[in-house]
Structure 1
Amino acid sequence: MEYLDWIVLSSTLLFIVIYGAYKTKGSANVKDYILDNNETPWHTVGISVMATQASAITFLSTPGQAYHDGMGFVQFYFGLPLAMVVIAYTFIPIYHKLKVYTAYEYLEQRFDVKTRSLAAILFLIQRGLGTGLTIYAPSIILSALLGWNLTLLNVVIGLLVIVYTVTGGTKAVNMTQKQQMFVIISGMFITFFLILNYLPPELDFTTALHIAGANGKMNILDFSYNPETRYTFWSGITGGFFLMLSYFGTDQSQVGRYLSGKSIKESQMGLIMNGFLKVPMQFFILLTGVLVFVFFQFNSTPLHFNPTNVTKINNSEYKESYQALEKKLEVINEEKKVVNQIYIEQFKYNEFDNPTLKKQIVVLNQKEKELREDAKELISKVDSSSETNDKDYVFLYFIINYLPKGLLGLLLAVIFSAAMSSSASGLNSLAATTTIDIYKRNNDTKSDKHYVYATQFFTLFWGLVAIGFACISSLFENLIQLVNIIGSIFYGTVLGIFLVGFYIKYVKGKAIFIAACVSQLTIFFIFYLDIVSFLWLNFIGALLTIILSLSIQKILNKQNT
């Protein structure tokens, strides 16, 4: 990194932290600290909701996902707009009417304290893990690519978030997320247009998409019914819908964002704004990854994008075998450049979409893919515990090696900002839930100021827990998938509890509590067996909770007659 990159990176991050801490210090009461005194306008609600979900994992993993697998991942978000409508016109009016601080307060009023505590504990487990991952994700990749100390990065990111989140609570989270989203969107747009500019002069946007399409990267819709296929239209519109309904409707990290709205209408408008913008934003990020793929059709790529693994193998007995694969890849890279150049010239100037050349391009990319798989096998022989999937390193490899001075600092600021944004929401929601649903619920005799201090303490506590988890985490197949998998394991059961509470007045507290416990254990077992895509776990968990609660309530009614 050059001095200019360091200046851009450090000044951006320091401005966000100092501005957030200075503007939001000194909350007078719990309502001010947790709900921003219900003064948040709709556009801030919308930005905060988007920023909470748009973690660093989104901007690191999503382009890499598109580079390897194409645009199909966008189907994951197809259920989101519908979920936003349901939440806006069902969940929000109930939450605001009851004047709750957390979503789980509602459950005690509808069912009993056991059900409230169960839902709160399930949330604390999955959000505690998720918040640790939002810190760990950028740290592991920045550490590998830039040689920075991993533990130090975890601590720095975590402490930066803790500073302003402890100081200002929800208001600090909302205020800083506006600055962070500006940095994030600006950085991604600049990168997108730079990639277009780096492509050969004769390669326009339309032709670039044809090259991507020839390699299956533009296959956006999959209408197959195979439950083992991870991303299809049906899994997105059903499993994705239930995941988004769970996340935005019952996860305090999101519920807390719109509970702070000025009114029911302002909160609803903020969520609908997210529904309109989220899918296009994810489409744009995936498209950026596809353009990175096209860029590397005309530029050399490494055999493996994770430099830590490359270092290991170059210091092992398999060094020569790995170098032999690298030489084969160099030959393929040169062939790709020639074939793609001829293809675009014929396509653009003669309007001829040459099927022979398209087939040749696909064959060369398949050969490249096989070489990468051979490289992964060698890496596994060196260290069987190494994560050989390098999707998360693709995009950062591009920006580190190809972006001009200053812009590298901006893109790193994007990654840090996204990490801080989602982590701040996570810590704020964890602290609010711990204080309101656990501590205050069992110790309701203290002053209002005491609970402000308690929430600040729990923010610090969960911040340290998240840092600790980040320091002991290990890389998964793909970080964005890991976050969604963790959510899918827990969200379905919690959503089922809320859906029964909202729509099925017949079911009482004992029945829903037993049903939720059985449902959650069943989801653990199904996940262990790995018989369906993780997206279906949300649907199964919610449906199972509803059906079991109805059945158990019927049995209990018979016993009482």
Structure 2
Amino acid sequence: MSYLDWIVLSGTMIFIVVYGVWQTRGSKNISDYLLGNKQTPWFTIALSIMATQASAITFLSAPGQAYTDGMRFVQFYFGLPLAMVLLSITVVPIYHKMNIYTAYEYLESRFDVRARTLAAILFLSQRGLAAGFTIFAPSLILSSLLNWDIYITNLIIGSMVVIYTVSGGTAAVSQTQKFQMGVIVIGMFIAGVMVVNMLPKEVSFGNALEVAGKMGRLNVVDFEFDLSSRYNIWTGVIGGFFLALSYFGTDQSQVQRYLTGKSVTQSRMGLLFNGMAKIPMQFLILFIGVMVYVFYFFFQPPVFFNKVLLEDAKQKGQNANITQLEDDYSIAFFERKQKALDLVKELNKEEGNITQAEESLKVADKELSNIRETAIEAIKTADPNADTNDTNYIFLNFVIDHLPAGIIGLLIAVILSASMSSTSSELNALATTSLIDIYKRHFNKDASDRHYLKASRWITVFWGIYAIIFTMFANRLGTLIEAVNMLGSLVYGTILGIFLVAFYFKKIGGLAIFLAAIVAEVIVMYCFLFTDIPYLWFNVIGCLPVIGFGFIFQTFLENQKTT
């Protein structure tokens, strides 16, 4: 990167951290620290909700996901708007009326301490790991840019977030997320405009769309009901609805965002705005990935996007082999480029031979892909343990290799800002749940407000260290955006089932729901370990048995009492 890029990047990051610390300095009590004294307006709530969900994984991995698999991932969010409406009507008033710090406090008032503690532990178990993912994503960037060991970059990113999260708590998170979302929106808009403007003059925006469509990258909606398919309209609407209902209704990292609202109306407006904005935002991010895919039809991509791993393989005995493959790749690329230009010419004719040009392009694309696969095999030969999924590096390579000075720094700041905003929310929620639902409830019930404030800061530091340690293993888990959602799906269904019973099935008691939740989680883990069921369905599979077994166990317990 140029000096200008470093100035833009470092200036943006330093401003966000300093602003978060300064704006929220001097939290006097636990209510200020954990809930921002419930003075947050709806617009800040909305931005905070979006920033919490839109981590660096979204902006680093989603364009790569679209590059390799097309637009169909957007269906993942189709159930979200309906979930936002249902939560606004039912859940938000309950949480505000009870004046709680965490969602899990409600479960004790409805069931007992067992249900509360189980739900809190399930949340902590997955969210602590998810925080590691959101730190790892930008660490990939810094390690590539600076050629530093990734453990060092993990420590840098994690420490920056911990500083202002520990200093100002929830208020610091919300205040900094306003600016982080501003940087994110501006940066991604510029990236989208630039990738289209950088296409060859003879390739119009319409031509780019047609090429993407011909190559199967505009597969936005799939109506086929296929249980083996991860992304279609059914997994999106049904599985996505259950996932969104659990994430926004029971995950403390999101619940804590709208618990800070001035009123029920302010919290509702924040949720509903997110429901309206999320699908268009995700569509545009994926669409940028599709445009990058088309861009690389006319400008040569690397044979493998993780250049560090590629160079490492060269130094481990594969130099001559990979160098020859890179030469072959260049020849095959120019052949594909010519076929792509031929297709564009046929598309612009009134009666062009589009079918033949399309088939020729697909043959050339297949040849290029075969060379790339051979290069990946060479990397595996050099290092059998190498992670050869380079999806997370695609958009990063485009930014660094093709965008002008200043813009590179801005877009790197976008990804780092997204990471910091999401991670800070997660650490804040982990600390709140650990303090309120575990420490205060089970170990120290009657300490002073000052003691709890100090404890919450130390707990935040603990979870920051925990997340940083987990990043050591994150690079073994494939595409980050899929991995983080898969991790959540392992527990979200079970947690959602507990809350749905609490809200709507008043006859089921604490012991019955505790046992039902354990059985449901065992079922989910079995499906994850021993079946090929797409992970979005885990949210349904986890939720429904909690309700069903809850009724069964409650009936059995009542019969035991009467005999």
TM-score range, shorter chain: over 0.9
8 Å CA contact 2:339, 2:364 repeated in 1: no
Runs of 4+ with >4 A deviation = none
Give the 3 Å change call, closer, same or farther, for CA 498–146 of structure 1 in structure 2: same
Kindly indicate whether residue 207 of structure 2 is the aligned counterpart of residue 207 of structure 1: yes
Kindly indicate whether residue 520 of structure 2 is the aligned counterpart of residue 522 of structure 1: no
Kindly indicate whether residue 191 of structure 2 is the aligned counterpart of residue 169 of structure 1: no
Give the 3 Å change call, closer, same or farther, for CA 3–536 of structure 1 in structure 2: same
2:455 aligns with 454
Give the 3 Å change call, closer, same or farther, for CA 101–351 of structure 1 in structure 2: farther
Mean Cα deviation higher: 396-405 or 319-328: 319-328
2:379 aligns with 379
Q: Tell me by how many angstroms 1:494 deviates.
A: 0.5
| Separation (CA, whole Å) in 2 of partners of 1:145 and 1:87 | 42
1:45 aligns with 45
8 Å CA contact 2:346, 2:357 repeated in 1: no
Q: Tell me by how many angstroms 1:353 deviates.
A: 6.4
2:446 aligns with 445
8 Å CA contact 2:230, 2:534 repeated in 1: yes
Q: Tell me by how many angstroms 1:355 deviates.
A: 1.3
Q: Tell me by how many angstroms 1:473 deviates.
A: 3.4
Work out the percentage of aligned pairs sharing the same amino acid.
50
Mean Cα deviation higher: 344-353 or 483-492: 344-353
Mean Cα deviation higher: 304-313 or 405-414: 304-313
2:160 aligns with 160
| Separation (CA, whole Å) in 2 of partners of 1:146 and 1:21 | 27
8 Å CA contact 2:248, 2:254 repeated in 1: yes
The Cα offsets for residues 487-519 of structure 1, whole Å up to 9 and x where unpaired, read as: 000111101100010010110000000011111
8 Å CA contact 1:145, 1:397 repeated in 2: no
Q: Tell me by how many angstroms 1:428 deviates.
A: 0.3
Kindly indicate whether residue 192 of structure 2 is the aligned counterpart of residue 188 of structure 1: no
| Separation (CA, whole Å) in 1 of partners of 2:238 and 2:373 | 33
Q: Tell me by how many angstroms 1:471 deviates.
A: 3.5
2:31 aligns with 31
Give the 3 Å change call, closer, same or farther, for CA 375–129 of structure 1 in structure 2: same
8 Å CA contact 1:145, 1:306 repeated in 2: no
| Separation (CA, whole Å) in 2 of partners of 1:7 and 1:530 | 49
Secondary structure at the counterpart of residue 445 of structure 2: coil
Structure 1 segment 220-369 matched on structure 2, within 5 A: 220-348=220-348, 350=350, 352=352, 354-369=354-369
Kindly indicate whether residue 545 of structure 2 is the aligned counterpart of residue 544 of structure 1: yes
The Cα offsets for residues 69-92 of structure 1, whole Å up to 9 and x where unpaired, read as: 100111111111111111111111
| Separation (CA, whole Å) in 2 of partners of 1:527 and 1:342 | 46
8 Å CA contact 1:141, 1:392 repeated in 2: no
Secondary structure at the counterpart of residue 318 of structure 1: helix
| Separation (CA, whole Å) in 1 of partners of 2:417 and 2:105 | 31
Q: Tell me by how many angstroms 1:141 deviates.
A: 4.2
Residue type matched to 2:189 in 1? Answer: F
8 Å CA contact 2:203, 2:344 repeated in 1: yes
Q: Tell me by how many angstroms 1:343 deviates.
A: 2.2
8 Å CA contact 2:91, 2:249 repeated in 1: yes
Secondary structure at the counterpart of residue 217 of structure 2: coil
Residue type matched to 1:213 in 2? Answer: G
Secondary structure at the counterpart of residue 316 of structure 1: helix
Q: How many residues align?
A: 561
Q: Tell me by how many angstroms 1:105 deviates.
A: 0.2
Q: Tell me by how many angstroms 1:30 deviates.
A: 1.3
1:493 aligns with 494
| Separation (CA, whole Å) in 2 of partners of 1:158 and 1:317 | 36
Kindly indicate whether residue 82 of structure 2 is the aligned counterpart of residue 85 of structure 1: no
1:504 aligns with 505
8 Å CA contact 2:196, 2:205 repeated in 1: yes
Q: Tell me by how many angstroms 1:146 deviates.
A: 4.3
Q: Tell me by how many angstroms 1:316 deviates.
A: 2.9
1:56 aligns with 56
Residue type matched to 2:440 in 1? Answer: K
Q: Tell me by how many angstroms 1:472 deviates.
A: 4.5
Q: Point out where structure 1 has 5 or more consecutive residues left out of the alignment.
A: none
Structure 1 segment 391-402 matched on structure 2, within 5 A: 391-402=391-402
2:104 aligns with 104
Residue type matched to 2:324 in 1? Answer: A
The Cα offsets for residues 468-487 of structure 1, whole Å up to 9 and x where unpaired, read as: 22244333220111100100
| Separation (CA, whole Å) in 2 of partners of 1:61 and 1:530 | 26
| Separation (CA, whole Å) in 1 of partners of 2:341 and 2:185 | 32
| Separation (CA, whole Å) in 1 of partners of 2:30 and 2:197 | 51
Q: Point out where structure 2 has 5 or more consecutive residues left out of the alignment.
A: none
8 Å CA contact 1:165, 1:173 repeated in 2: yes
Residue type matched to 1:233 in 2? Answer: I
Residue type matched to 2:436 in 1? Answer: I
| Separation (CA, whole Å) in 1 of partners of 2:311 and 2:467 | 29
| Separation (CA, whole Å) in 2 of partners of 1:201 and 1:85 | 45
| Separation (CA, whole Å) in 2 of partners of 1:146 and 1:304 | 19
8 Å CA contact 1:55, 1:421 repeated in 2: yes
- When normalised by structure 1's length, the TM-score is 0.98
1:465 aligns with 466
Secondary structure at the counterpart of residue 158 of structure 2: helix
Q: Tell me by how many angstroms 1:341 deviates.
A: 1.7
Give the 3 Å change call, closer, same or farther, for CA 351–287 of structure 1 in structure 2: farther
Q: Tell me by how many angstroms 1:94 deviates.
A: 0.8
Q: Tell me by how many angstroms 1:385 deviates.
A: 1.2
The Cα offsets for residues 41-90 of structure 1, whole Å up to 9 and x where unpaired, read as: 01111000000000001011000000011001111111111111111111
Secondary structure at the counterpart of residue 444 of structure 1: coil
| Separation (CA, whole Å) in 1 of partners of 2:466 and 2:499 | 28
2:514 aligns with 513
| Separation (CA, whole Å) in 1 of partners of 2:449 and 2:351 | 72
| Separation (CA, whole Å) in 2 of partners of 1:110 and 1:54 | 32
Secondary structure at the counterpart of residue 222 of structure 1: coil
